[in-house]
């Protein structure tokens, strides 16, 4: 396992409860996302939304979300998973697997206050490039 981060969202700009910011990881990240730690900085309101997603710029796959936290402002560990599918594309009930990433990451903070930000660490099970 490797720990990637801290990746910062950038400082939110805008009015109280509507400030936003986003930033990209400086390098591509490869591997299985085993866990994500989100640390809220300053004093974000309970309306704060966080989105951690792949950047999705060609030649990489289109963007997809790794973790979305809605109306939250409590720091902590999260363990996002994706549902497993059969080769026919049918979801297998109760079967989940870690999300895979092979791209830059984008971190967005929204509905925050001016000056708020988040730091993100990812626990990655690495894959070779």
pLDDT tens string 95-128: 999 999 999 999 999 999 999 999 999 999 997 5
Q: Say which residues have a Cβ less than 8 Å from residue 94's Cβ, sequence separation at least 6.
A: none
73 Rama class: left (phi>0) / alpha (psi -120 to 50) / beta:
alpha
* The total number of structural domains that make up the chain: 1
Q: Which domain holds residue 20?
A: 2-126
- Provide the CATH number for the domain around residue 87: 2.60.120
| pTM confidence score | 0.92
pLDDT tens-digit readout, 20-35: 999 999 999 999 999 9
């Amino acid at each position: 396992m490797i720990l990637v981060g801290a990746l910062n969202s950038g400082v939110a700009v805008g009015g109280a409860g509507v400030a936003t910011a986003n930033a990209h990881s400086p390098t591509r990240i490869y591997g299985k996302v085993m866990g994500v730690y989100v640390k809220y900085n300053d004093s974000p309101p309970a309306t704060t939304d966080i989105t951690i997603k792949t950047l999705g710029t060609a030649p990489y796959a289109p963007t997809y979300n790794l973790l979305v936290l809605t109306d939250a402002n409590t720091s902590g560990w999260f363990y996002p998973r994706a549902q497993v599918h059969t080769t026919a594309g049918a979801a297998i009930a109760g079967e989940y697997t870690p999300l895979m990433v092979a791209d830059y990451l984008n971190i967005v903070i929204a509905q925050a206050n001016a000056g708020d930000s988040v730091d993100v660490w990812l626990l990655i099970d690495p894959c070779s490039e």
